[in-house]
Every structure is written in structure tokens, then in C-alpha cells.
Amino acid sequence: MVSLVGKKTVAASLRRQGLRAVSSRMFRHPRSKDVGECVYEDSCNRQWDKGSLDKVWITDFTYLRSGQGWVYLVAVRDAHTKRVIGYAMGVSQVTDLVRQALNMAYACRERKPAGLVLHADRGCQFTSRELGEYAKKAGLTLSMGRTGVCWDNAMAESFWSTLKIEYYYRHAFRTREEVYEGVSSWIEGFYNRKRLHSSIGMMPPVEYELKMSQTAWKQAA
């Protein structure tokens, strides 16, 4: 038979024995909060692929370790074709890297697509006023998932998983420069041009985009 003993009884017994109870300190996980200044509505609702080129671009940050320290990588990917059209790397996770990646994406497309949505999470680089001003000048609509809900940007998370499992974890990087060169080579030489995707008919992204342009040209002829 189990009998219950009150806290006062236990405390008195410990005092008589010269003992002291030790309890673990409560730990409260820090809550995620929007560090930036501008939060935008989620206009995608996990429906990122709108069925055509340059309707939604997906962006996010990840970090990769080298022997010299961390490398922060931001990528911009077309939600329909899966192609990485812009990326940038650096030693700090800053908004300027996002601008660099977007500038590369616009250079890749050779234009600024009308009605384009850029979807991200609520990291402070994406909620910053600097990016808001950049987006306004470019005619870019910003979209953001909810705080702490990774599924709202699952397409970006999927790409990071592919990058790390198929390339990054298989190599050791002594310097940051090795990360820069290796990741760039993998994105440009393998992922965009050789890696097959079931969602686009088992084609690499660049080949799929070429097929799209050829089809559009024939229909216009």
C-alpha cells in the first residue's frame, strides 16, 4: 500500500538528517519572435508551385561548417522549375547576402518578372526594412510563413536537405573558400543541370526550362 507524504514532512526529515533537497532548475525554451521590422502575409499557403516560370521564388538561409568557421548560404529557387537561380555566401547572416542572391537571380532571368512573389520565413534578414525597400523598387511581393513553422517554407528546407545529404556531408572543407567553390560547383554543375526531379518529368531544372521556352516559342509561331 502506498502512502503519501507531505512536503513539510519530507523537509523536516531532511533537516534532522542534515540533508538538503536539490531540484533541477526549470528551463524555459526561448520563444521565437519576429526580430525584423516588417512581417508580410503568407500568400502561398504551402502552394508554392503556380504551374509556370517566375511566379514564386523560394528563399532561405542555411549554414555550413568549414575548418575556418561557419559559412552562411542563401539561395533563391524557382518554385516551379526547381532551378537555383541565385545564391550568395558569406561569414555573416545578413540582408546584403539576400540582395546579392536576388541580383544574381534577376541577372539569370535577364529581367524583373511582373507579379513575382518571393517566399521566405520570418528571419530578420527577410523582415528587414532594407529588403522591404529593395522589394518595393523591384516590384517584388514578399510572402512569409508563420514564426517557428518550418512546413510553411518546406520547399526551401527540402533543398537544404538535398544539398547536405548529396554533397556537403560527403566532404570535409578546410577553408571557407573550399565551401564557396564546392557549393557553387555543385549547384551550377550538378543540381541545375544534371539532377533529375520527378515533379518536372524526371528532368534537370535547366533542361526543363529550355523545354518550356521551346514549347512557348512553337505555340507563338
Q: How confident is the model at residue 17 (pLDDT cuts 50, 70, 90)?
A: low
Residue 47 lies in a domain: no
Please give the tally of structural domains in the chain. Answer: 1
**Average pLDDT, stretch 38-59?**
85
Q: Which phi and psi (to 5°) does residue 94 adopt? A: -125, 160
Annotate 152-191 with b (16+ C-beta within 10 A) or e (fewer).
bbebbbebbebbeeebbeeeebeebebbbebbeebbeeeb
**pLDDT of residue 212 exceeding 50:** yes
Residue 146 lies in a domain: yes
Residue 202 lies in a domain: no
pLDDT-above-90 percentage for the chain? 62
Return the higher-pLDDT residue of 207 and 30: 207
Residue 100 lies in a domain: yes
**pLDDT of residue 92 exceeding 60:** yes
Range of the domain at 171: 56-189
Residue 115 lies in a domain: yes
Q: What is the CATH number of the domain that holds 72?
A: 3.30.420.10
Q: How confident is the model at residue 15 (pLDDT cuts 50, 70, 90)?
A: low
Residue 41 lies in a domain: no
| Stated pTM of the model | 0.79
Residue 44 lies in a domain: no
Give pLDDT, residue 51: 83
Residue 155 lies in a domain: yes
